[in-house]
Amino acid sequence: MSNQLPLKQIIQALEQLAPPSLQESYDNSGLITGNPEQMIQKAILTLDCTEAVIEEAIQVQAQLIIAHHPIIFSGLKKLNGSTYVERTVIKAIKNDIAIYALHTNLDNMLYGVNHKIADKLGLQSTRSVLKPMYNQLCKLHTYITEDKADELRNALFKAGAGQIGHYSECSFNIIGEGTFKGDGQSNPALGRPLVREHARELKIEIILPIWRKNEVLESLRKAHYYEEVAYELYPTLNAHQEAGSGLIAELHTPMKETDFLQLIRSKLHTGVIRHSGLTGKFIKRVAICGGVGIFLLPDAIRKEADVFITSDIKYHQFFDADSNILLCDIGHYESEQFTVEIFQELLNDKFPTFAALFSKTNTNPVNYY
């Protein structure tokens, strides 16, 4: 029998994978319906949450639907069942089914939607975001005596600080002299109250993602042995190397364009590929953006990609390839269909006895004749 979990525990795991702060301003990721305290025994994993998916959840007695696309993008002014969105929400609430969506916050993670496409195509060297995000990093400065520095650094690393690209446990350390004077109510770890003390201290500088700030500061306070922990937290202008739009990857062996198109059809199960004119070049460097990604075409060209895989390309936008790149529209659903595998892999890893089932409902609204 599967294990029951509080919804808030599942949400915590999902948000560690895809922090809500990374979603775009127009998005509505997160808990759409449901109570975080609700107990969940079974979840349905889907790209889209529709009435048919709610009905499927009822039939298999699932209390949670985890979707990539939020069923509600903008505010609902009425709930009278006049639209498919309203009917879906009403049915979920009536049957006590929670809906949680991970959308652009998952798109904007390096190991999210685009990485899964790269995996399916067997691409290599996939640790490169096509257009990195800014304003997602901050820098922590703190101070401690040398004999306790390793213990503190280890706690900060464990909490998610010190990761720079391919390198972890990164910090910079400077020896200096600190002064302090406790009042009559203080209980200093070093020296005596009411006396100005001088101490040889190590200044630790360490970078961290903004969404890890609370965890890192909590670890700082728990691991530090000073009564009052001195620290500064600064925003940085650096690009986050593992957060942003799209992905750049490479084929192990270059391929002819027609062979690569056949690879896409085979591995991504696409009914049709709309593409720009063939360039006559071999395909080696591949740019990817699941969903609507044409806004990244200049970035793909600038990073010398031979092909750009995305969806929802308009007629005139194909001209923008201008023989510089092979532009491929594989379909919106087709580009994101494997997202459910990311959900299942996470839940199986975090909660091995929890039942997380792929939806059997085909939610692709586009049909091919």
Q: What are phi and psi of 299, to 5 degrees?
A: -70, -40
The CATH number assigned to the domain holding 155 equals 3.30.70.120
pLDDT score at 332:
97
Same domain, 50 and 97: yes
Instruction: State whether 127 and 154 are in the same domain.
Output: no
The greatest distance separating any two alpha carbons of the chain, rounded to the nearest whole angstrom, comes to 85
Nearest Cα residue to 75 out of 86, 64, 65, 61: 86
Q: DSSP labels for 105-169? A: HHHTBTTSHHHHHHHHTT-B----EEEEEES-EEEEEEEE-GGGHHHHHHHHHHTT-S-BTTB-S
CATH code where residue 287 lies:
3.40.1390.30
The contacts of residue 255 (CB under 8 Å, 6+ apart) are: 263, 282, 283
In a domain, 93, yes or no: yes
Give the pLDDT confidence score for residue 166 in this predicted structure.
81
The count of domains in the chain is: 3
Same domain, 256 and 182: no
> One digit per residue, pLDDT tens: the chain, 369 residues?
568 999 999 999 999 999 999 999 999 999 999 999 999 999 999 999 999 999 999 999 999 999 999 999 988 889 999 999 999 999 999 999 999 999 999 999 999 999 999 999 999 877 789 999 999 999 999 999 999 999 999 999 999 999 988 899 999 999 999 999 999 999 999 999 999 999 999 999 999 999 999 999 999 999 999 999 999 999 999 999 899 999 999 999 999 999 999 999 999 999 899 999 999 999 999 999 999 999 999 999 999 999 999 999 999 999 999 999 999 999 999 999 999 999 999 999 999 999 999 999 999 999 988
Select from 236, 260, 284 the last residue of a domain: 236
Whole-number pLDDT of residue 176: 97
Helical H segments across 70-112, by residue range: 84-94, 104-107
Determine the Cα–Cα distance for residues 157 and 148; give it in Å rounded to an integer.
Answer: 15
Length of the chain: 369
> Does residue 220 fall inside a structural domain?
yes
Confidence at residue 121, expressed as pLDDT on a 0 to 100 scale: 96
Question: Does 366 fall in a domain?
Answer: no
- Is 368 a member of any domain? no
Predicted local confidence at residue 45, as pLDDT? 98
Domain membership flag for residue 162: yes
- Same domain membership, residue 287 and residue 213: no
Q: What is the DSSP letter of 213?
A: H
CA–CA dist 229, 75 (Å, integer): 43
Domain boundary among 210, 236, 262: 236
Q: Which range of residues forms the domain containing residue 232? A: 136-236
Q: Quick one: tokens of 324? A: 């510089």
Asked if residue 364 is part of any domain, the answer here is no
Is residue 252 in some structural domain? yes
- Note whether 209 and 235 are within 8 A (CB): no
Are 128 and 147 contained in the same domain?
A: no
Show which of 190, 214, 236 is a domain's final residue.
236
**Structure tokens that stand for 282 in this block:** 């071999």
State the DSSP code for 238.
Answer: P
Is the same domain home to 201 and 255? no
User: Encoding tokens for residue 349?
Assistant: 């890893």
| 125 and 35 together in one domain | no
300 lies in the same domain as 348: no
For residue 228, give the DSSP letter.
S
Same domain, 97 and 169: no
Which pTM does this prediction carry? 0.90
Per-residue model confidence (pLDDT) at position 2: 61
167 and 218 housed in the same domain: yes
CA–CA distance, 69 with 81 (Å, rounded to integer):
20
Q: Is residue 363 part of a domain?
A: no
Tell me: do 29 and 65 sit in the same domain: yes
Are 119 and 254 within one domain?
Answer: yes
